[in-house]
Amino acid sequence: MTLNEKALEIHRRLCRAYHCPIPYFHEMDPIDELVSSLLSHRTRNADSGAAFKELRKRFAGWQAVIDAPVAKVQDAIRRANWPEQKAPRIQQVLAAILRERNALSLDFLADMDVPEAREWLERLPGVGPKTSAAVLSFSRLRRPALPVDSHHHRVAIRTGLLAPKVAVGPSHRILAAQLPPDWTAQEVYDNHEILMLHGQRCCFHRRPACERCPLLDLCPFGQKLRPDAGPLPGRQAEPVASRLSS
């Protein structure tokens, strides 16, 4: 089995377990998605969501955020971790978009192909591959870009889709290249969601539940932990009830 075939088989099995298609959890403007993603870095979803809401409540628009004293932006986002770093970063990113495009909008990304759009976004200060993919996939742009979070990354390493030492950043390109190039945005989104959910619901960081994992016969890590367990046709991961944190 090639790696691409294995990626597809994993996708098929996890889609069955978590019931694809997975509903999108929101449909935000791409700039809102970008700011939200910058706030979410190493912060619980509830806290970054509260920080984003407060920022939107206190300022009339993104231009007002650019023009505000940094201390005021920092105070608005204090529920997020490291507001002292995130406030100036958000202002820099918004100012850079305005400078480059003469408008506070990312709608033009809809007309670029995905690699070009990601490259454009990743030229912004502090924007890496996970954020660029999140903006393109989760916002109302709905483009086929694959974000990789820590759960997704852990499952990909353990199942052998990634070599053990590939970091999250470079893993984006490798994992995206394993998916069929003609997949829709929904299929690519599903791939991210089911691997993330599998990491949250079954392939735990400590003590993965390999005994009920539908990927065990494909997973070198699980087979090392449980050399006695062969493939079981009825093995099922827990179904998805609602989206957890990404």
Residue numbers at the binding site for ligand SF4 (CB under 6 A): 155, 158-159, 202-203, 208-210, 213, 215-216, 219, 221-222
Q: Which two tokens stand for residue 75?
A: 């105070």
Nearer to ligand SF4, 174 or 229 (CB): 229
Tokens of 171: 């893993």
Which of 129/222 has CB closer to ligand SF4? 222
Token pair recorded at residue 190: 């599903």
Q: How far is the CB of 71 from ligand SF4 (least distance, A)?
A: 45
Q: CB of 187: closest distance to ligand SF4 in angstroms?
A: 21
What is the closest distance, in whole angstroms, from the C-beta atom of residue 67 to ligand SF4 in the complex?
A: 48
User: Helices 114-122 & 129-138, crossing angle to 10 degrees?
Assistant: 130
**Rounded Cα gap, residues 55 and 73, in angstroms:** 7
- Output 68 or 194, the one with its CB closest to ligand SF4: 194
Q: Which residue is nearest to ligand SF4 (CB)?
A: 222
How near is the Cβ of 205 to ligand SF4 at its closest, in Å? 10
Contacts of 145 (CB under 8 A, 6+ apart): 114, 117, 118, 132, 133, 136, 137, 176, 188
Q: Between residues 108 and 204, which has the closer beta carbon with respect to ligand SF4?
A: 204
Residue 28 phi, psi (nearest 5): -100, 160
